[in-house]
Amino acid sequence: MKEATTEFFNLPIEEKEMYAMPPNDVHGYGHAYVVSEDQILDWSDLMYLLIYPTRCRRLQCWPNTPKGFKDIIEAYSSEVNRVSRELLSSLSVIMGMENHVLLELHKEIIQGLRMNYYPPCITPENVLGVSPHSDSGTITLLMQNDDVCGLEIRHNGGWVPVVPKSDALIVNVGDILEIWSNGKYKSIEHRAVTNKNRERISYATFICPWDDVEVEPLDHMVDHENPKLYKKVIFGEYLRQSLQRKMEGKKHTLMWQELIEYE
């Protein structure tokens, strides 16, 4: 997976543009969160593919080069899908439910793969690879290069690097798990910084509920001491709203909390 993806991003731009993301779309090769002509873009390219359910795939966006890349993506993603189902099952138990509950709440898992490519940057202090944000789904499973740092998480008002470990996936809590758990598990604010000498690639698999799933704090996570903190959202609408905004850390989740206070 790592070799094939590196080869893909190192192809001439004309070849990568054969898979270009259409305007107002998220599939294919391009750039995330482009919301205005005059914004400063993040120092990265990406390739986004919807993997599951298979009937939703846009196969014309799946790269033909390098040879066999499609099969590699398929094999990698089906293993990550297996791991994510195990994680949802354990999380259900940790949250005091039967092991199938979180998976069922998704109706059908939507799984997306975002491959982020960060070229070296001669002035890394002036740009970000990815601006601060939290992921919108339930959980994210992230693989990164073994030997190039870049990912940082927000902790105590500062940024802490997540040092790569070979053969390890990083699991991020996303906004939907934050809502279901009524804020017990907070989605993690994170960003990626760039590097002067080395390119870096990361592979983020987003696990999300089906588009029309209504998400709100689970009944048993709300009680006298833990009043309901989030209002109900429809996942698809929530996702589209967050894609239309320039990333600004976790401001969007705070916004709903305010909404509920004023309701």
Which string of DSSP letters, residue by residue, matches 212-225? Answer: T-EE---GGG-SSS
Angle at 5 between CA 86 and CA 138, to 5 degrees: 30
Residue of 130, 113, 112 lying closest to 121 (CA atoms): 130
Site track for ligand AKG across 102-121, x = CB under 6 A: ------------x-x-----
Q: Is 48 helix (H, G, I), strand (E, B) or coil?
A: strand
Query: What type of residue sits at position 45?
Result: D
Tokens read off for 196: 């002067």
Residue type, 247: M
Site for ligand AKG in 228-247 (CB under 6 A): none
Name residues contacting ligand AKG, limited to 42-71 (CB under 6 A). Answer: none
When CB distances to ligand AKG are compared, the closest residue is 202
Nearer to ligand AKG, 151 or 208 (CB): 151
User: Of ligand AKG, Fe ion, none, which one sits near residue 173, judging by CB under 5 to 8 A according to partner kind?
Assistant: none
250 binds, among ligand AKG, Fe ion, none (CB under 5 to 8 A by kind): none
Q: Which of 42, 135, 175, 178 touches Fe ion (CB under 5 A)?
A: 135
Which residues inside 162-201 make contact with Fe ion, applying CB under 5 A? none
Sign for the CA dihedral angle at 102, 103, 109, 112 comes to positive
Contact residues for ligand AKG, defined by CB under 6 A: 114, 116, 130, 135, 142, 144, 150-151, 190, 192, 202, 204
